Structure 1
Amino acid sequence: MSLLGSSGNGKTWHVKVTTMDADLDLSSIDPCIMGRELFDLVCRAIGLREIWYFGLQYTNKKQIPCWLEMDKKVNKQEIPKQDDGSLHLLFLVKFFPEEVEEELIQDITRHLFFLQIKQSILNMDLYCPAEASVLLASYAVQAIYGDCDGDVQLELSKLLPQCVLDQYDMSPQMWEERIRRWWTNNNGLSCEEAEMEYLKIAQDLEMYGIQYFPICNQKETDLHLGVSAHGVGIYKGADRITPRPFFGWSEIKNISFKNKRFNIKTMDKSAITFRSIDASVNKTILDLCIGTHSLYLRRRQPDSLEVQQMKVQAKEERLRRQQEHSRYEREKDYRAEVERERDRLKTDLEMLSDQMRNIQNAMKRTEETAELLAEKARVSEEEALVLSKRASEAEAECQRIKIAQIKAEESKMTLERKAREAELIAARLIQESERRAREAEASRNNLLAAGNRSYPVNYPYDSQIAGAEYGGGTYFGDQYQRATVPPDPSANRAFCTDISSLKAEIEKERSEYNQKSRHLQEQLSDLRGEIDSLKVDDRQTELDRIHAEHVNAGEDKYSTLRKSAAGSARARIQLFDGL
């Protein structure tokens, strides 16, 4: 039968399939095709080979989620049509593995699981305590954005469930700071590794992989049936965490229903009977139980040839991806090294540029100083020439003065000699004058004595006075003033600035920070201790209180299941009937 085409009456359907990361529009679908054929068509369209985990879900007219039946024609199933006449189906995980790391093979399988679990936590369909929510958010941002980047704006509404945000007296900045702190611990993880770490943590959540259906026991007590990869559990009231009781798949022999009544037979031939609230989900419950039990048995058998081939291909793909990641990390480290070297060289260049500017300024000042000194040297040279000329003239004047002084000394000696001679002549003249005066006096006296007899008197006064020629001595002052010759110009001062050379070797980068591997429970305990003081008790839900009791008692999901599965099947059935 052709998938695309028309049935006998020429009518085709338009089917819209929504996966977790894409929308598929399938037009011209024959309404008579089997559910398996439509499912295979979707799987081929998205490149999925691990088809046994998935299914197509729709909401029936009673608003109850139902899975498309594979062995039934599409037009025979109660799939409501949209306003435009098309069919709308959701491509979702239907069956969950026990151990995601060992069982999920393809990248697309892991990615679809990651998206669905993440959305279930955000929608609060899957209970997740606050400490686990923050840790999961750190792996989610690592898978989405890569290594921690301070420029990335985190949207808390897409990372943490609203109930967690409401239960603590913490601002968005405080939540973001804690997510970023844990995000930095994930540096180096690839997208695939981060998604797998996310799923490994999520699979330890108490409600992970459990699909709940409302049921009643013989006392008409409202209960929930939980179907998971580990078995079937009965949950009472709002407690979706602690099964009362729990039956592992290894204990279950047969599951059947008639009308609304279900029977689960155990290996010891005991039977648990309950009634579903709505008969429309009976086939869904049975289908889930059969499919989950089949996968449970399949895990404990050797892998089929197809699975072996897929694992080999996945291993080769992981190896190739690891090599690419290693090459990418090497290139990233090399690029970081180059960028650091570039930054260092840029810093050195800026430093050298500053030094060059300083040197140029110093050279400019040196040139200006040299020009000034050259000008001063020229002026000093001219002054030296002038002073040298003056010195020569002064020396000549000095020689002339010395000669004049010698002549003056000679003249002085002559004058002294003439002075002495003049003194002698003067003395003789004085003596002669005195003698003649005495003779004149005597003559006068004789004349007086002789009376008035007139005698021609001859005064033989022969005044021979040798005039003493005064030789005016000439004073020669010290007219020569000592000429001071300036010292030789000093040598120009050299402004020598040493330019620091570049370092010969580049400093080796510090060894990469070795991330401390912490145990998951220790991480959650540390984070729980961080935010526990900010918890608002009035805002805690019933699931929060139950989870806190389990943590205080040192129990986890698996210890709770073991505890609920303890005892004989008959005793647990009696416990169920007594609820």
Structure 2
Amino acid sequence: MPWLTLKRAPKTFDVRVTTMDAEMEFSLEWKSTGRHLFDLVCRTIGLRETWYFGLQYIDKKGYTAWLKFDRKVRDQDLPHEEPVNFLFMAKFYPEAVEEELIQEITQHLFFLQVKQCILNMDIYCPPEASVLLASYAVQAKYGDYDRSVYQPGFLCNDDLLPQRVLDQYKMTPQMWEERIVGLYADHRGMTRDEAEMEYLKIAQDLEMYGVNYFHIKNKKDTDLWLGVDALGVNVYEYNNRLTPKISFPWSEIRNISFHDKRFVIKPVDKKAPDFVFFAPKLRVNKLVLELCVGNHELFMRRRKLDSMEVQQMKAQAKEEKARKQIERARLLREKQLREEAVREKEELERKLALFQDEARMANDALLRSEETADLLAEKAKIAEEEAMLLAQKAAEAEQEMNRLQVSALRSEEEKVVLEHRVRETELIALRIAEDSERRAKEAEELKEQLIKAKENEKFAKDKLIELTRNPLNDTLGSETKTEQKKETQYGYPQFNYMTGDAITNEHLRELDMRLEHELSLSMDSADNSMELLSDNDVEQLSREIEKERMEYMEKSKHLQEQLSELKKEIEVLKDEDKETQYDKLHNINVEMGETKYSTLKRIKAGTAKARVAFFEEL
């Protein structure tokens, strides 16, 4: 029986990688390196600008560390847990986000990380700038503001402002939302990636953006902060991480090294002494060196010609942006046409409703006139009957008078009585005759009113017929003569209006069908007109983009004015007792006219020797 050789399955372990908006789990072989895991994550999320990012973890002693790519994952100082947790984060920051970040996924990851740093108060952001950044974050998440969709309170579950800002002002969440929405509404038409880029362009001007801080000491044992960023190495006072005291740009640094806790930076100027500081832990110096080397490499790469890979990525990004601009312009035109069609439909429906109301009122008037005519006819009939009855009573009274006169001859004694009764009867007969004459006049008046009522009825019928024939034709005909030509061209069914006493439901349905048919053809015409833009349109689109850029510059100026107004508005609600140290430092810088870049320019002045000497005296 031949021997069977069984191959053992490689030993594996589980890892969990968390990005700013996702969580992934992988099963790695025991011998997998950090580079293997990093490339696996980048391929999974579709990231090509890998040089900005790294895998961060908490080591066995609770310190923050970055996974080394050239070593096996299991050989590094990982905690004894499974799955092993890593954070996929930006390790290095660009100097200018708009020029350097190419892919949308890169831009999105930076946006999420910077936003989280501002909300966690790792990066100081003034209150008015926090509101502006929050408005861009809302635009990136929800798109264009629509008053009919987004009701008050729709931002209550979103984390938009640092807690420091919320605590510092005596304002309710509704008041903050009102101010954020006021700026958010101005960003209409901005896509998600454009809103995120505007967020990053504002955030990169913040003093603490992209800076990694480390606690150090100089030879005088003074507690200080070392800041490592894309431009160089900065030194800060221990109670002020906002404004650096001295700075060494990467272009002035020749060599970096450390021995135990002692860290040495050699300037390019060989006459200048070494810049030496001391870290509390050896692992701090290792991390400082790692960040310095990485930032220096990116600093030098930016000042060289782009590699073929970067050139290809930029070309693809440019083509993709142009394609999206064309698609956006097409969709915008289509949206405008559809909105116009909807507005036209609403206008036609409004006019139809108005016509229906007028027809209903005319119909009601006709019914009232018919009821009045019937009532007057009934009154005339009753008056005639009463007149006949009075005439009959008058005849009977006259007969009674004659009979009494005959009876009066019989008896002289009865003569006086009879004469008295005759006078009474004559008076009664006179009153009856007067009443009969009055009733006859009333009957004549009622007949005249009946004739007038019938004339009014005829006039109401004529008015209704005129309304059914002319009003809609006049309204639609005078305002949409072009649409009547379309009806002839496309063979729309013509309206047939009634000439009877009232409008039937059948004709109203016919009118609705005509409106819907017209809207449908308008929509089809809009869709057919949405052809893909030709190559010649690209130049026109470029001119439009340039025009939009100039308009946006004006808009940015307007936005700055809004921020100034917002700052003045909320200043009265500020609780001075809750101002932090950074708020006070920022206000001092503003009063002095200092910005992040003016400060860096000022502290870089002078020789490296003078700056090293100044550091030693801190």
CA drift of 1:160 comes to 0.2
Query: What does residue 551 of structure 1 align with?
Result: 590
Q: Is 2:72 aligned against 1:73? A: yes
- Contact between 1:143 and 1:194, CA under 8 Å: does it hold in 2? yes
Q: Is the 8 A contact 2:265 2:276 kept in 1?
A: yes
2:325 is aligned with 1:362: no
Is the Cα–Cα contact under 8 Å of residues 101 and 196 in structure 1 kept in the other structure?
yes
Secondary structure of the residue aligned to 2:297 is helix
Aligned 1:420-431 pairs, distance under 5 A: none
Q: How much is the aligned-residue C-alpha RMSD, in angstroms?
A: 2.9
Q: Secondary structure at the match of 2:572?
A: helix
Q: Residues 91, 137 of structure 1: CA spacing in aligned structure 2 closer, same or farther, 3 A cutoff? A: same
Aligned equivalent of 1:92: 89
| Other structure's SS at 2:335 match | helix
Relative distance call for 1:363 and 1:47 in structure 2 (3 A) is: same
Task: List gaps (5 residues or longer) in structure 2.
Answer: 1-6, 389-436, 482-547
Aligned partner (choices 481, 489, 492) of residue 455 of structure 2? 492
CA distances 1:81-115 after superposition (whole Å, capped 9, x unpaired):
33xx2110000011100110110000000000000
- The CA distance in 2 between the partners of 1:107 and 1:156, in whole Å, is 26
1:571 to 600, 610, 614: 610
Paired residue for 1:220? 221
Note closer, same or farther for the CA distance 1:217–1:157 as it changes in structure 2 (3 Å cut): farther
Larger radius of gyration: 1
Q: CA offsets per residue over residues 405-455 of structure 1, 9 Å max, x none?
A: xxxxxxxxxxxxxxxxxxxxxxxxxxxxxxxxxxxxxxxxxxxxxxxxxxx
Corresponding residue to 2:479 among 505, 518, 535: 505
Q: CA deviation at 1:367?
A: 4.4
Partner of 2:571: 532
Count of matched residue pairs:
467
1:332 alignment partner, one of 326, 330, 335: 335
Tell me which residue corresponds to 1:392: none
Between the aligned partners of 1:573 and 1:89, the Cα distance in structure 2 is: 38
Aligned-residue offset at 1:339: 3.4
Q: Partner of 1:390 in structure 2?
A: none
What is the aligned-residue identity percentage?
53
Which amino acid in 2 is paired with 1:206?
Answer: E
1:112 aligned onto 2:150: no
Offset, 1:190: 0.8
Match of 1:161 in 2: 162
The reply on whether 1:517 has 2:480 as its aligned counterpart is no
Q: TM-score, normalised by structure 1?
A: 0.75
**Segment of structure 1 superposing worse, 337-346 or 287-296:** 337-346
1:102 equivalent in structure 2: 99
Partner of 1:61: 60
Corresponding residue number in structure 2 for 1:203? 204
Shift of 1:230: 1.1
CA distance in 2, matches of 1:156, 1:204: 28
Deviates more, 1:167-176 or 1:125-134: 167-176
Q: 1:465 maps to what in 2?
A: none
Q: Deviations over 1:25-64 (max 9, x none)?
A: 112x013222111111100010000001111000112322
Q: Do 2:263 and 2:278's aligned partners in 1 also have CA atoms closer than 8 Å?
A: yes
Q: Evaluate the alpha carbon distance shift between residue 523 and residue 238 of structure 1 in structure 2; reply closer, same or farther with a 3 A threshold.
A: farther
Equivalent residue for 1:323, pick from 315, 323, 326 = 326
Give the AA of the match of 2:83.
S
Structure 1 position 36 matched with structure 2 position 10: no
Displacement of 1:372 after TM fit? 6.6
Task: Give the whole-Å Cα distance in 1 for the aligned partners of 2:200 and 2:292.
Answer: 23
Q: Residue 306 and residue 8 in structure 1: after superposition, are their counterparts in 2 closer, same or farther (change >3 A)?
A: farther
Matches within 5 A, 1:383-462: none
The alpha carbon displacement at 1:128 in A equals 0.7
C-alpha spacing 1:251/1:525, structure 2 compared with 1 (3 Å): farther
CA deviation after TM superposition for structure 1 residue 287, in Å? 1.4
For structure 1, the residue ranges without an aligned partner over 5 or more in a row are 1-6, 387-481, 508-512
Letter matched to residue 517 of structure 1: K
1:138 aligns with 135
Whether the aligned pair in 2 keeps the contact of 1:12 and 1:30 (CA below 8 Å) is: yes
Deviations 1:269-305 (A, max 9, x none): 2310111122123222111111111111111111111
One of 334, 343, 348 as aligned partner of 1:345: 348
> Could you say which residue in structure 2 is the equivalent of 1:22?
22
Counterpart in the other structure of 2:485:
none
Q: Deviations over 1:113-132 (max 9, x none)?
A: 00000111111111111011
1:128 to 125, 130, 146: 125
Using the TM superposition, give the Cα deviation of residue 523 of structure 1 relative to its aligned residue in structure 2, in angstroms. Answer: 4.5
Q: Distance between the aligned counterparts of 1:506 and 1:326, measured in 2?
A: 28
TM-score w.r.t. length of structure 2? 0.70
Any conservation in 2 of the 1:43–1:49 contact (CA below 8 Å)? yes
Contact 2:247–2:603 at 8 Å: present in 1 too? yes
Indicate yes or no: 2:12 matched with 1:12: yes
Q: Residue by residue, what CA displacement relative to the aligned partner does 1:338-368 show, whole Å, maximum 9, x if unpaired?
A: 3333333333233222222212222333444
SS of 1:257's equivalent in the other structure is: strand
AA at the equivalent of 2:610:
A
In the alignment, is the contact (CA less than 8 A) between 2:156 and 2:173 conserved in 1?
Answer: no
1:32 alignment partner AA: K
Q: Distance in 2 between matches of 1:535 and 1:57?
A: 38
